[in-house]
Structure 1
Amino acid sequence: MSVLSNIVISARVRRSPYFAATQRYGCKAYSVYNHMYMPLYYQSPEADYWNLVNGVTLWDVAVERQVEIVGPDAARFVQLLSPRDLSSCAVGQCKYLMMTDEKGGILNDPLLLKLAEDRYWLSLADSDVLFWAKGVAYFGNYDVEVFEPDVSPLQLQGPLAAMVGEALFGSALNDLKYFRFGEFELAGMPLIVSRTGWSGERGYEIYLQNSDDGDRLWETIMEAGSPHGIAPATPSAIRRIEGGLLSYGADMNLDNNPYEMNLGRLVDLEQEADFIGKAALKRIKEEGIRQRLVGLTVEGGPAVVPSLERAAITLDDRPAGRITSAVYSPSLEQTIALALVPVEHVTEGSVLTVQTDAVPLEATVSPLPFISKKTV
């Protein structure tokens, strides 16, 4: 991850309801994600990582914009957008999805929340799904409304998240099962809280439904977390790569399909319902894929990580893929990466070469995740 020393605040880039709070609490860098400023780190990426894995952290993830789909055809329309079979999805349940185009390429990998039999949210990664969904709904003549609601999530993540959550919402939060959500109220603010997150640690996503309450919600959570050493942080590239969590735009994009990402379990070709990309994904499965995402351990310490961004991989001087994401893991004391490599080289223990501008580096195919998720 390359970080510039300055950020220019532009009127065309949106600020989250928590933007002022992130500045007060010392955020040092931002990126732009879904047309909104996204915090990158506070103390440093490494210090924020240790706060996450050892305690509890609060993240501004309002960049996870929601697409709301509501109306008589909502269930049928949401199923059209994803190859995952959603027929058994219950109200109050979350589902991790792939969204594919007509060629089977990945458009986004959102979290789906089913709020009612005729109402859904798609909590998005970084791409313009709102426009895609509106176009599909219009030309397919579906009886639905598709829009972006006033919803801005925070993430409460880390091994002490449950203690802070109980201080905020009481013991009822402990009854929330993994990938389930409920309606809660905090200091007069109606919220939806889900047992989900992008950290590989215990955590929750807290969906604010009135942006005017952003600062108040942030401070209320920080006050409740103070006895537990809560710290502001951001989605940790280190922890998500350790946990084998994928980032849309980095590890996958429209040129990739779910099978390449080891996510064939999210494609149900046998379901009766149709979905966009069904014929293409059936063909891809029958013909087989040419490349697949793997984990790599790479020689060299933190200093080599910047040179690994999008670096080419070779074997015996022949092309053998590319790095998609790379970090130095302080817990493993090892440089680790995710990479797309030809299927003939995905065997655990295979030794490849990463070509950098400085020197070639040896890399070994390793099982994912590097560190197991600690979500219970």
Structure 2
Amino acid sequence: MESLATTPLSEWHRENGAKMAPFAGFDMPVQYKGIIVEHKHTRSKAGIFDICHMGEFKLSGAGAKAGLNTVVSHDLETLAPGKCRYGFLLNEAGGINDDLIIYCLAEDEYMLVVNGACRQKDFNHIAANLPKGLTFTDVSDETGKIDIQGPESLDVLNTLLGSSWNHLKYFNFEVTDCAGFPMIISRTGYTGELGYELYLPASKALEIWKKLAADDRVEPIGLGARDTLRLEIGYPLYGQDLDENHTPKEAGAGFFLKKETEYIGKSGLADVKESLVALSIDGRRTARHHDEVLLPNGEKTGVITSGSFAPSLGHCIALAYVRAEDAEQKEFIVKTARAELPAHQSSLPFFTEGTARQKTD
């Protein structure tokens, strides 16, 4: 039987009726009151997410920027303290080892946030490619992470901390001790809604979680709704839509690759064999991971990587890799276990009414 890791909140989830399942080697909550209920609550009010399974690394020392700049796709030359940026850790062929967010804490001081399932692999890869003399530490076990997302998340956060965070702009963060201990508050998230990610001592995670959960505007949200929320916005999931066999350009994320300097994998980005496309499917019948994608003549061109019923839209949506030469095709067929479903290529995001970038100051 698989031995699963727990988060500081795992016991609370079980005590409060969560359906639990393995995810990234952790025992994680899938749902509490139901995926659609939790999805709609996040879109309309505020939801809290246990993201303590993620990995966090700290890097510091003279030359940290220059060293890290050769390892990741992020442009660190333009990343100022107090700002964070999304990007990729690539293999030599340009395939995606992981997607991650880098926080610039100060000049030559960074925090890297990676996917939990990739934590050890990422740490080893980065450490092996950094110059000597830097301090590179895995602080995942001592770091808790709670996300609060939804249109009312700012008001809830202001109530929790007794201070205003209206000034914080999208993909900006601050280090604060207003809760009585050091905490990073980052205006980021994975739902497309106004939201904040809280990085705090693991020993304080349960205390803050309980205070948030006690607010009438807040509901705990499981991984099920987190997945439907991110898919409606078109955010990719590592291990499904992103992997070591596809480059960021193939994944439709080439616009993140703005750096002029050389970094691992850059030379492999030119070859585009497949393209990730967004598909809309009428009705509630859902495409699943690995379902085949066909051209109208019945010829296979690719596979579904993510698919779900979209609660905000009332029909199924999906992401799929298809042959690059078929990427401009407007009509496809998704071959499921029980039916062949007509699919229409869509633009991203599927859901266009998210509040993530709204002005708050």
TM-score computed with the length of structure 1 as normaliser:
0.88
1:293 to 276, 279, 284: 276
CA contact (8 A) 1:295 1:337 kept: yes
SS class of match (2:245): coil
Alignment of 1:78-93 (within 5 A): 78-93=68-83
Alignment of 1:166-315 (within 5 A): 166-209=158-201, 211-223=202-214, 225-226=215-216, 229-235=217-223, 236-268=226-258, 271=260, 273-281=261-269, 283-284=270-271, 289-301=272-284, 304-305=285-286, 308-315=288-295
Over aligned residue pairs, what C-alpha RMSD do you find?
A: 1.9
Q: 1:166 to 1:274 in 2, by over 3 A?
A: same
Q: CA–CA distance in 2 between the matches of 1:50 and 1:279?
A: 43
Q: CA–CA distance in 2 between the matches of 1:193 and 1:54?
A: 22
Which residue is 1:42 aligned to? 32
Alignment of 1:160-171 (within 5 A): 160-171=152-163
SS class of match (2:75): coil
SS class of match (1:20): helix
Q: 1:219 to 1:140 in 2, by over 3 A?
A: closer
Q: CA–CA distance in 2 between the matches of 1:100 and 1:135?
A: 10
Which residue is 2:347 aligned to? 367
Residue 167 of structure 1, CA deviation: 0.7
Q: Deviations over 1:261-292 (max 9, x none)?
A: 111122235x2x321112222x43xxxx2221
Partner letter of residue 318 of structure 2?
Answer: A
CA contact (8 A) 1:201 1:374 kept: yes
Q: Is the counterpart of residue 335 in structure 1 residue 335 in structure 2?
A: no
SS class of match (1:294): strand
Residue 327 of structure 1, CA deviation: 0.8
Q: CA–CA distance in 1 between the matches of 2:189 and 2:300?
A: 36
Alignment of 1:100-139 (within 5 A): 100-138=90-128
Q: Is the counterpart of residue 21 in structure 1 residue 21 in structure 2?
A: no
Q: 1:188 to 1:173 in 2, by over 3 A?
A: same
Residue 24 of structure 1, CA deviation: 2.5
Q: 1:38 to 1:128 in 2, by over 3 A?
A: same
Residue 230 of structure 1, CA deviation: 0.8
Q: Deviations over 1:57-92 (max 9, x none)?
A: 111001121122222232122212212321011111
SS class of match (2:304): strand
SS class of match (1:110): strand
Which residue is 1:151 aligned to? 143
SS class of match (2:158): helix
Q: Deviations over 1:186-240 (max 9, x none)?
A: 542321110001110010000112x2222212112223x23xx211113522111
SS class of match (1:62): coil
Q: Runs of 5+ in structure 2 lacking a partner?
A: none
Greater shift after overlay, 192-201 or 135-144?
A: 135-144
Q: CA–CA distance in 2 between the matches of 1:186 and 1:141?
A: 36
Q: Runs of 5+ in structure 1 lacking a partner?
A: 1-7
CA contact (8 A) 1:37 1:63 kept: no
Residue 27 of structure 1, CA deviation: 1.2
TM-score computed with the length of structure 2 as normaliser:
0.91
Q: 1:133 to 1:72 in 2, by over 3 A?
A: farther
CA contact (8 A) 2:40 2:312 kept: no
Percent identity reads 27
Greater shift after overlay, 166-175 or 91-100?
A: 166-175
SS class of match (2:177): strand
CA contact (8 A) 1:77 1:137 kept: no
Report the count of equivalent residues: 351
Q: CA–CA distance in 1 between the matches of 2:67 and 2:15?
A: 42
